[in-house]
A and B are shown apart, each in its own frame.
Chain A
Amino acid sequence: DGGITQSPKYLFRKEGQNVTLSCEQNLNHDAMYWYRQDPGQGLRLIYYSQIVNDFQKGDIAEGYSVSREKKESFPLTVTSAQKNPTAFYLCASSPLGGGQETQYFGPGTRLLVL
């Protein structure tokens, strides 16, 4: 089956801790995205990547970091600098990343602060 997987489904972060959210796709898509969703709000772009070894900041990149070492993988690290990390995190991909294409979403990771 082709698709996007995210893990874990739930993640708990302690104060001062960095945590990494996994995103893997086997759709052979070039572009990948990370969004944050807070209750009652739309999706906000954190980072995106068009190709391997390249990524760009979105609207709310502060306190987050990413890497794109493989086409299939785009992990997101929530650092201790992100003071309000509790949210639903969604990874997405699109075929060419031209911005006009459908984005396909993974199942999401819900991050909670202990």
Chain B
Amino acid sequence: QKEVEQNSGPLSVPEGAIASLNCTYSDRGSQSFFWYRQYSGKSPELIMSIYSNGDKEDGRFTAQLNKASQYVSLLIRDSQPSDSATYLCAVPFGGFKTIFGAGTRLFVKA
């Protein structure tokens, strides 16, 4: 059974702090990893993708991948109230099937 696990939260951080969101996956063969942001009542939108071990930075967002530990994380620096959303980790498991985690709810307090 292919699985993607996330802490459901809610994760609450003060404005300006770093929010750290974590995701573990079960398939050692997975090659690509995606983070989506989903506002309440809206559809998911892509935040970051990462394919290689290490860090990938895009503005205030940093994705970190450790394939040996089967672990991918998303860091949000200088968190803003507008970052309050659910963050979904998504891992393709070969072919056309992508498994989405249940998501972590993030609240950024002003």
Nearest CB of B to A31, in Å: 7
Q: Answer yes or no: A103 CB below 8 A from chain B CBs.
A: yes
Q: Which B residues contact A (CB, under 8 angstroms)?
A: 4, 8, 31-32, 34, 42-46, 49, 88, 90, 92-103
Q: Answer yes or no: A56 CB below 8 A from chain B CBs.
A: yes
Asked whether B97 lies within 8 Å of A90 as measured between CB atoms, the reply is no
Nearest CB of A to B25, in Å: 12
Which residues of chain A come closer than 8 Å to B34, judged between CB atoms? Answer: 102
Asked whether B96 lies within 8 Å of A90 as measured between CB atoms, the reply is no
Q: How many residues of chain A have a CB within 8 Å of chain B?
A: 25
Q: Which A residues contact B (CB, under 8 angstroms)?
A: 31, 33, 35, 40-45, 48, 50, 56, 58-59, 90, 97, 99-100, 102-108
What separation, in Å, do the CA atoms of A41 and B6 have in the docked complex? 11
What separation, in Å, do the CA atoms of A45 and B94 have in the docked complex? 14
Known A40-B8, A40-B102, A45-B97: A102·B46 in contact at CB below 8 Å: yes
